[in-house]
């Protein structure tokens, strides 16, 4: 059969076979036989084929000596001619040479073709990337630290990635300052847990060695004497409780090279200010403190507390610079336009209370509801159901009390809505389960009602509806509640959001996240 015809068949009948054998190969093989390293001398066709080299060289040499195509049997000539589409008259040495690869396969030799190489990559994506305005924030902070600044505040809107931006800088520090830890201060379990988990992600992408993550909150066991590297995530309460231990603050301060203070408006609280200052001053040179805040003030109307905060951070505030991206004068407007933040629509919940006091302190100082309890429950559940009717799939409700939070959730469940309530007394397993279900990808609408636990450290970008049913005069607290629902599409959120609020949105800064962002600007 022609399909079984091989180069060995051709060499077996060719008169040119002896001339194709390299004498050195034949001599060496004979020596190997003589030394009993191989059994016998191969036949002339085998020796000749071995000396022909690679498939294309073999075809060329067979043409050169006249074996191809002249010594092919007639049947193979016709078959090869048909394969090459040459016709019997066209099967010449030149025609065979022009199709050397196909002829080699015809003779049972391997097909010769280059493997298609993948094109070299034209770009590389980061595993823990930052947006341009976040990168510029880091660059400015590092520049100020190099110039000797020991305190500065990163002023970034809620939802703009304060934690991610800062942890990228923390990773830079740990790579450059091996042997010094970073201390991350926060006041709530949610913020502390968020920082620890996000650092684990960040260091997994940006780190260069294994480092510990030490948790110092909620009664967890930890030892400051073992701290030589990595991140110490600590609650203010835990560190404050150990301040009287001999040498504790001094030794801890000497082990850390950078202090991060989340929700930095708490840094000047009398309870914690002295502790933070002692930690910073324990090392030489002084350990820098970087504060994080979306609202760099403590009161609405301006007070000595606001001035103290600005003085604590040496009147050094880094604000998002969006001008290089063609942004407007307001970073918030730019972030909304570019899809980093959702565009909020503010709606008033119920009738305004008669209380005309000005918004005031960072503490809640909650005014009265301004309506009786039945009206309140009707307004809140009605507003929530309206949001569901408008196709909002994830809605968070901030209730006016623990009891009301559970009543609202029960009412919603009674009318067929998936709703859970959490508060400071809710057990961790119940709270975590409710939050996990809320964050699930299920398209079925879910409502999470809470009091006092989800204003910070809670990140559910799919939230598009916020019901602020908790009266407050604190712009800080109010901004934190609004921030739970304004993640934009580039942050995994929504293009638009609805904020239904019992707080009068016509009060300056309470109806605009841009106005709230710049409210304390004169202090800095």
How far apart CA 253 and CA 287 sit, in angstroms, is 8
33-71: pLDDT as tens digits: 999 998 999 999 999 999 999 999 999 999 999 999 999
Q: What is the pLDDT of residue 440?
A: 93
How far apart CA 499 and CA 476 sit, in angstroms, is 16
Query: Which residues, at least 6 apart from 185, have a Cβ–Cβ distance to it below 8 Å?
Result: 234, 235, 236, 239, 259, 260, 261, 262, 276
Q: Which residues of the chain fall short of a pLDDT of 70?
A: 1-3, 88-90, 296-305, 322, 324-329, 351-370, 504-524
| Region for residue 404 given its phi and psi (left: phi exceeds 0; alpha: psi -120 to 50; beta: otherwise) | alpha
Under a CB-based contact definition with an 8 Å cutoff, are residues 234 and 219 in contact?
no
Q: What is the pLDDT of residue 301?
A: 47
Taking alpha carbons only, the member of 505, 399, 464, 524 closest to residue 516 is 505
Q: What is the pLDDT of residue 359?
A: 47
Q: What is the pLDDT of residue 226?
A: 81
How far apart CA 51 and CA 58 sit, in angstroms, is 8
The 3-state DSSP class for residue 463 equals coil
Q: What is the pLDDT of residue 515?
A: 59
The domain segmentation of the chain, as residue ranges, is: 2-106, 132-321, 341-523
Under a CB-based contact definition with an 8 Å cutoff, are residues 387 and 498 in contact?
yes
Judging by beta carbons within 10 Å of its beta carbon (0-12, 13-18, 19+), is residue 293 exposed, middle or buried? buried
pLDDT averaged over the chain? 86
Q: What is the CATH number of domain 341-523?
A: 3.40.50.300
Backbone angles phi, psi at 349, to 5 degrees: -95, 110
Sheet containing strand 231-235, strands side by side: 213-216, 231-235, 181-186, 256-261, 289-293, 151-155, 317-319
Q: What is the pLDDT of residue 35?
A: 92
The 3-state DSSP class for residue 205 equals helix
The CATH class given to the 132-321 domain equals: alpha beta
Tracing tokens 């091996």 back to the chain, one arrives at 178
Asked if the domains at 132-321 and 341-523 fall in one CATH topology, the answer is yes
Q: What is the pLDDT of residue 360?
A: 47
The 3-state DSSP class for residue 4 equals helix
């Amino acid at each position: 059969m022609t399909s079984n015809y091989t180069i060995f068949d051709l060499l077996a009948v060719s008169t040119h076979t002896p001339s194709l054998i390299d004498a050195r190969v034949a001599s060496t093989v004979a020596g190997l036989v003589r030394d009993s390293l191989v059994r016998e001398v191969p036949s002339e066709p085998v020796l000749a084929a071995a000396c022909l080299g690679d498939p294309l060289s073999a075809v060329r040499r067979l043409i050169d000596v006249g074996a191809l195509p002249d010594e092919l049997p007639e049947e193979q000539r016709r078959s090869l001619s048909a394969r090459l589409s040459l016709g019997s008259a066209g099967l010449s040495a030149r025609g065979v040479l022009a199709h050397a690869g196909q002829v080699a396969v015809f003779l049972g030799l391997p097909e010769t073709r280059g493997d298609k190489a993948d094109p070299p990559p034209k770009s590389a994506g980061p595993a823990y990337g930052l947006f341009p305005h976040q990168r510029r924030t880091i660059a400015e902070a590092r520049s100020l630290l190099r110039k000797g600044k020991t305190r500065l505040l990163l002023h970034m809107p809620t939802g703009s990635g304060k934690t991610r931006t800062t942890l990228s800088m923390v990773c830079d520090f740990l790579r450059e300052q091996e042997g010094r830890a970073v201390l991350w201060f926060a006041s709530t379990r949610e913020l502390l847990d968020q920082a620890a988990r996000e650092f684990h992600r960040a260091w997994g992408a940006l780190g260069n060695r294994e480092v510990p993550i030490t948790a110092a909150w909620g009664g967890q066991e930890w030892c400051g004497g073992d701290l030589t590297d990595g991140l110490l995530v600590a609650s203010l309460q835990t560190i404050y409780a150990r301040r009287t231990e001999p040498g504790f603050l001094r030794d801890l301060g000497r082990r850390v090279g950078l202090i991060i203070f989340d929700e930095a408006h708490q840094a000047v609280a009398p309870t914690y200010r002295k502790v933070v200052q002692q930690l910073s001053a324990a090392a030489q040179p002084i350990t820098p403190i970087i504060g994080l805040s979306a609202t760099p003030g403590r009161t609405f109307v301006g007070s000595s507390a606001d001035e103290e905060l600005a003085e604590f951070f040496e009147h050094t505030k880094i604000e998002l610079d969006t001008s290089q991206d063609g942004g407007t004068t307001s970073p918030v407007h730019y972030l909304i336009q570019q899809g980093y933040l959702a565009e909020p629509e503010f709606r008033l919940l119920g009738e305004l209370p008669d209380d005309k006091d000005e918004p005031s302190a960072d503490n809640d100082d909650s005014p009265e509801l301004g309506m009786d309890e039945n009206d309140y429950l009707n307004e809140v559940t009605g507003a929530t159901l309206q949001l569901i009717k408008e196709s909002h799939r994830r809605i968070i409700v901030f209730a006016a009390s623990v009891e009301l939070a559970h009543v609202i959730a029960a009412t919603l469940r009674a009318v067929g809505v998936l709703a859970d309530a959490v508060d400071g007394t809710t057990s961790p397993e119940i709270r975590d389960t409710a939050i996990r279900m809320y964050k699930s990808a299920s398209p079925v609408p879910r409502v999470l009602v809470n009091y006092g636990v989800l204003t910070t450290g809670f990140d559910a970008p799919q939230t598009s509806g916020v019901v602020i049913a908790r009266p407050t005069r604190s712009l800080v607290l109010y901004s934190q509640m609004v921030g739970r629902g304004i993640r934009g599409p580039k942050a995994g959120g929504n293009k638009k959001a609805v904020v239904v609020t019992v707080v009068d949105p016509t009060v300056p800064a309470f109806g605009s996240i841009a106005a709230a962002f710049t409210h304390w600007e004169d202090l800095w």
